[in-house]
Structure 1
Amino acid sequence: MDRIKEEKMEVRQVEQVVQPEKKQRSSIGKVFAWTGLFLLLTLIAAAMFIAYQGAVQQEEKAPDFTLITFDGEQIKLSDLRGKVVVVNFWASWCNPCEDEAPDLEAAWRQYEPTGEVVFLGVDYVDTEPEAMKYLEKFDITYPNGPDLGTRISHAYRIVGVPETYIVDKNGVVTDVQIGPFPSLAAIQRMIDPLLSN
């Protein structure tokens, strides 16, 4: 009987030595887990902040870019200073883009003879054959080119297509249209005030 009591006492002594070690390991594990969770949440928050900065805003300088058109011409935005520039992001697979395409072309044909307004179409994440079919379907005559590597759309932080940026003669964004233009008149309302300056 004494022997059993001695063994039980030894077991209790061993447990008392082992338990704090287990508790210590457990608390260290919790610290690592909470630290890891905190870092993960911080990274997610930073990524969301970057993603939701939104499109280039009014009164912001328009990011410069060079568009290589489908016919090989190079057009640099900064070379168009002194003119109003309409930068339209579109794609052949975008149904809302089709809704505004006739109005954009009509506006281009109206303003082109003045020499004061330039339209640039930036084809977003598309194939050239599909893009060319789209341009032919809507008889679009203003310069258009692919956004190679999505570098232009990243610079403008677009959230989707269609998106249009009106850039004044000094290279500053004066209006942003996210989604399709509802009418030709809506396009004219953004451009006309810039021509009287």
Structure 2
Amino acid sequence: MVEERINNAERTNRQTLPRWVVGLVFAALIGFLVLIGLGLRRTQEGPIVIGQKVPYFELKTFDGEVYNTQQMQGKVIVVNFWASWCKPCEQEAFELEEAWQFYKPRGDVVFLGVDYVDTEPEAKAFIQQFGLTYPNGPDLRTRISQMFRIQGVPETYIIDREGRLAFVKKGPFLSVTEIRGAVDPLLP
């Protein structure tokens, strides 16, 4: 009789514990599936496409200034992804700087250089070597490049005055004329 009570008690404990464990496993599984779903949704969203509103982002420059899409609203924004180790980036560096010098006095065009997967000393040396004066900063944790879904460097994205993606260039610009051909149609 005592042995029967012990067996019944063990059976009751076995039934209670598995329910608790099953509940915990079920909750963890639901959480895991939600995370996978969010990841798949993000993957399926793909890159920002021409005509689509560009989400908010900010870039802290190597000089410590912060630029964000909200403060640049109403301006054309040229976002160039580059790296110091990128040879094609060297090819377009002078053209980008020359185009920046052309547009800078207008005040309604902003150039942003986004340094991709680089070290700060090498990035700063690149900026100095090519005499870049437009704002440049690191893409910390690759947040901006992930948002644009860049495939490599150099890549340039031009945002119109309404905050929509208007132009994408994969690879280096070969001339200032090419840059102006992308920016000028977006200006009043």
With the shorter chain as reference, the TM-score category is 0.7 to 0.9
Q: Which has the larger radius of gyration?
A: 1
| 3-state SS, counterpart of residue 165 of structure 1 | strand
For residues 92-114 of structure 1, the C-alpha deviation after alignment (integer angstroms, 9 at most, x for no partner) is 00011000000000000000001
Q: CA deviation at 1:56?
A: 2.2
For residues 30-55 of structure 1, the C-alpha deviation after alignment (integer angstroms, 9 at most, x for no partner) is xxxxxxxxxxxxx9xx97x93893x4
Q: Does 1:100 align with 2:116?
A: no
Q: Does 1:139 align with 2:131?
A: yes
For residues 35-84 of structure 1, the C-alpha deviation after alignment (integer angstroms, 9 at most, x for no partner) is xxxxxxxx9xx97x93893x422111112211000010111112101110
Supply the distance in 1 between the matched residues of 2:166 and 2:45 (Cα, whole angstroms).
21
Q: CA deviation at 1:154?
A: 0.5
Q: What corresponds to 2:158 in structure 1?
A: 166
CA RMSD of aligned residues (A): 1.9
Alignment of 1:11-50 (within 5 A): 50=43
Contact 1:166–1:175, Cα closer than 8 Å, also in 2: yes
Give the gaps of 5 or more residues in structure 1.
Answer: 1-42
Contact 1:163–1:179, Cα closer than 8 Å, also in 2: yes
Q: Does 1:117 align with 2:109?
A: yes
Q: What corresponds to 2:83 in structure 1?
A: 91
- Aligned pair count reads 150
User: Structure 1 residues 92 and 51, CA, compared in 2 at 3 Å: closer, same or farther?
Assistant: farther
Supply the distance in 2 between the matched residues of 1:176 and 1:160 (Cα, whole angstroms).
13
Percentage of matched positions with identical amino acids = 55
User: Structure 1 residues 160 and 101, CA, compared in 2 at 3 Å: closer, same or farther?
Assistant: same
Supply the distance in 2 between the matched residues of 1:173 and 1:193 (Cα, whole angstroms).
13
Supply the distance in 2 between the matched residues of 1:159 and 1:78 (Cα, whole angstroms).
25
Supply the distance in 1 between the matched residues of 2:132 and 2:56 (Cα, whole angstroms).
24
| 3-state SS, counterpart of residue 80 of structure 1 | coil
| 3-state SS, counterpart of residue 67 of structure 2 | strand
The one-letter amino acid paired with 1:50 is T
Supply the distance in 2 between the matched residues of 1:52 and 1:179 (Cα, whole angstroms).
23
Alignment of 1:50-69 (within 5 A): 50=43, 53=46, 55-69=47-61
Supply the distance in 2 between the matched residues of 1:164 and 1:134 (Cα, whole angstroms).
18
Supply the distance in 1 between the matched residues of 2:44 and 2:51 (Cα, whole angstroms).
21
Contact 1:63–1:156, Cα closer than 8 Å, also in 2: no
Supply the distance in 1 between the matched residues of 2:116 and 2:104 (Cα, whole angstroms).
24
| 3-state SS, counterpart of residue 113 of structure 2 | strand
Q: If the length of structure 1 is used for normalisation, what is the TM-score?
A: 0.72
Q: If the length of structure 2 is used for normalisation, what is the TM-score?
A: 0.76
